[in-house]
Chains A and B, each alone.
Chain A
Amino acid sequence: MKFLFLISLTYVAFVMETSAGTWALPGSTIPQFLFLTVGLGVLWFRGATPIVWAAVAGLLADVVGGSPVGLNVVLLANLAFIAQMAGARQSSESVFTSAAFVFLFVTGAGFASLTLQQILTGQSPGIQLIGFSSASRAGGATAVFLIAALGWAAIARGVRIMIPSRSVTSGRPKWAR
């Protein structure tokens, strides 16, 4: 179920980033939805799944972003692996720690992606500009994530109050149950 949700979320992210010219958040911010889905994959899954997912999302990001195809495949797969090794799943216990992880992951991925892209295309990377751009896009993605997660948590709590159950066994983080 979670997997299907992530598939649909990734497609939505792909479409939203493709159509980014027609919309933007206040301040002309276009969140990096594809990187967000990779972050969510790392938070939600174990083993090879988040890495494969990161590679697929990286391919989509390459197609959307116009970077050399394969760059984000390598980058995101490795970043997901590093995040997994660093114990990123522990941060999924709370909405806010998850949001912090999402922000750091998306910022790091965006920064690395843009820098490598500049290097591969033979341009000198403007580190400050890239950092600011990555952080702002990651901020947008984190804001979207926080709103969705808090909304989902509120709905789930409301449902639990209306229909109480004896025990809840779920692999999802507490806030996403």
Chain B
Amino acid sequence: MKSQQVTGTSWLAVMVASLAGFGLLLAPAEQTDLLRVLMRDAALPGLRLVDAAHERVMTFPSQLELDLTVGVPSPELVAERDLWQQKYRKLESVNTQLAGALEQAREERTSPFLADPGTPLFVPELIEASVVGAEELSQLTQRASFRRIIDVGTHDDVIPADFVVNSHPDQDAVPPPLIDQGADSGLQLDQPVFAGRCVVGKVGQVGRWTSTIIPLTDLEFSGRGQLVRSTEHGAVLGAEGVITGDGEGKCLLKYVPGTEPVAVGDVVYTPVGHSNLPVPMYYGTVIQASLNDQAQDWTIVIEPAESIDGTRRVQVLRAVLNTARTSSLIESPLPPQQEPSS
């Protein structure tokens, strides 16, 4: 039995393996470390598989719970739904713009003469801005207020090491969001602020390099909005009104006459006909509409589509000189004046 299992090659193999092992044991650490690295690298494809499998196993119970819960969609479905909602919103925006153009054309009638579209002097331009986080804001404030001067001194019996306390201890006051663009970038008061295709607020105070934003849901916010209804024949423009924040995370659309049709689910855009925006921007969806007795106007509550909270980058709309016109002015200077003939 022994002769069947242990052959001459077995002896040879064990001797070679032992020699190789001892050789490796005596080898310099740099060489063996290199060997370790190479062999660990070889495990990488398998490790990726194990990692993926481990993640699957770990997330399986939560996925199972999600599947078992009726009406709770999976994350993939939610992502897909968001994508389609975004596409729908884009199409709806284009549809609204076209409906506005059509309505305007109907009102103005078609001119019998062909007119070339003129080049506007001012064109809208979006400037990208970063929202400075609360932590950064706090640090900046601390740095800025490291040494402050107060208007009391020794005449008022103030001595070194006296405490300075805040006279307005409004701890709950949340500082307005700050963006890293200011007057040097052409920002002005009341310019609208967007996150993608959604309105999130407007410019409040404008500093040289920074500006504050009045969020859409803030009590101080006000802007113009227009209702858009989805019907079987497509989007239909509704009444215009004034959007204000209610201070509790929602918006109100005011001054919409009670004679106008309004329904829950209608969407609110920036006005189609009276805006210098190339496409209407989205405010949100009507979640509540009521017309009280004796009231002239609707009370409309809107759920904003986007919030400034958690948004890191926004775009501010500003009007700039049309370079197409100003450049032509530079290239072709005014013709020289002719000498008056005597």
Contacts and interface: CB of A to CB of B under 8 A. Distances in A.
Contacts of B13: 47-48, 51-52, 55, 77, 81
A70 B51 contact: no
A155 interface: no
A81 B12 CA distance: 11
A6 B341 CA distance: 109
Contact of A71 (B5, B17, B21): B21
A97 interface: no
A48 B27 contact: no
Contacts, number: 110
A25 interface: no
Contacts of B22: 70, 74
B33 to A, nearest CB: 9
B183 interface: no
From B7, B9, B13, B36, residue with most partner A Cβ within 10 Å:
B13
Question: Which secondary structure dominates chain B's binding surface?
Answer: helix
Contacts of A22: 50-51, 54
A84 B10 contact: yes
Interface string B1-38: 11011110110111001101111111100001001100
B43 interface: yes
**What band does the interface of chain B fall in when counting residues whose beta carbon is under 8 Å from A?**
20 to 34
Interface stretch (A85-93, A125-133, A136-144, A166-174): A85-93
Interface residues of A, number: 38
Interface string A12-23: 101110110011
Given A23-B54, A63-B40, A69-B32, A81 B10 contact: yes
B264 interface: no
Interface of A: 11-12, 14-16, 18-19, 22-23, 46-48, 51-52, 54-55, 58-60, 62-63, 68-75, 77-78, 80-81, 84-85, 87, 89-90
